[in-house]
Amino acid sequence: QSVLTQPPSASGTPGQRVTISCSGSSSNIGSNTVNWYQQLPGTAPKLLIYSNNQRPSGVPDRFSGSKSGTSASLAISGLQSEDEADYYCAAWDDSLNGSVVFGGGTKLTVL
Amino acid sequence: QVQLQESGPGLVKPSETLSLTCTVSGGSISSYYWSWIRQPPGKGLEWIGYIYYSGSTNYNPSLKSRVTISVDTSKNQFSLKLSSVTAADTAVYYCARADAGLSSSYYYYMDVWGKGTTVTVSS
């Protein structure tokens, strides 16, 4: 059971816009920033969005992030076949001495 | 361009200690937070902990009693030890560089990752 809640799967056709949600609580998303990681099959995770809505250099602007209250979302516009991957949200959690918590991951399928 | 590489035994016996090292190249370890993350087969990501280059650490509460992360700045390496392992510790283990701090709220993100190393716990 992950601390952050994501839908296990999502899908879309090429060119579509898809969103992936991430729900948390006041001790994590409600207090701190949210990051999104993309994990292509058989590879290490890659930072996709940091600090709620910032893209690292090299990440296409088709990817965008937002946060409201204790929830966050990742949006992918102009969906491409190479976007098929697992997506994880993460945030710092202030509980106990503080730690990083992840969502369970969302497997995105491009139909 | 900073690169990270995990190394260590791929097979560990139950009840023994798992030991991994992450070598940082292309940059100095003497800044940033240095993290370990693991991923059991077919499952999601789990943060294990971090060490700041100065030596301060923070561990996942669920693993805290078994985890030690250390740093060797002279070798540009940091290491993970996980004691009393069981089959549940079988996973791909990743090391990563993290940036963290406080602006309007606390931020912590892992921006450079190693390729990962598979560790199997079995007799």
Q: Give yes or no for B19 touching A (CB within 8 A).
A: no
> In this predicted model, what pLDDT tens digit does every residue of A24-53 receive, in sequence order?
999 999 999 999 999 999 999 999 999 999
> In this predicted model, what pLDDT tens digit does every residue of B39-96 receive, in sequence order?
999 999 999 999 998 999 999 999 999 999 999 999 999 999 999 999 999 999 999 9
d(CA B69, CA B18): 12
Segment 78-107 of chain B within 8 Å of chain A by CB: 94, 100, 105-107
Task: Report pLDDT for B105.
Answer: 83
Task: Report pLDDT for A76.
Answer: 98
Mutate to test the interface with A, among B22, B109, B113, B117 (most CBs of A within 10 A): B109
Determine the residue type at A96: L
> In this predicted model, what pLDDT tens digit does every residue of A50-99 receive, in sequence order?
999 999 999 999 999 999 999 999 999 999 999 999 999 999 999 988 99
d(CA A100, CA B10): 26
Three-class secondary structure of residue B87 per DSSP: helix
**In B, which residues are within 8 Å of A35 by CB distance?**
108-110
Three-class secondary structure of residue B89 per DSSP: helix
Task: Report pLDDT for A87.
Answer: 98
Task: Report pLDDT for A97.
Answer: 83
**Conformational region of residue A81, where left means phi above 0, alpha means psi within -120 to 50, and beta covers everything else:** alpha
SS3 sequence of chain A: CCCEECCCEEEECCCCCEEEEEECCCCCCCCECEEEEEECCCCCCEEEEECCCECCCCCCCCEEEEEECCEEEEEECCCCHHHCEEEEEEEEECCCCCEEEEECCEEEEEC
CB contact under 8 A, B106 and A31: yes
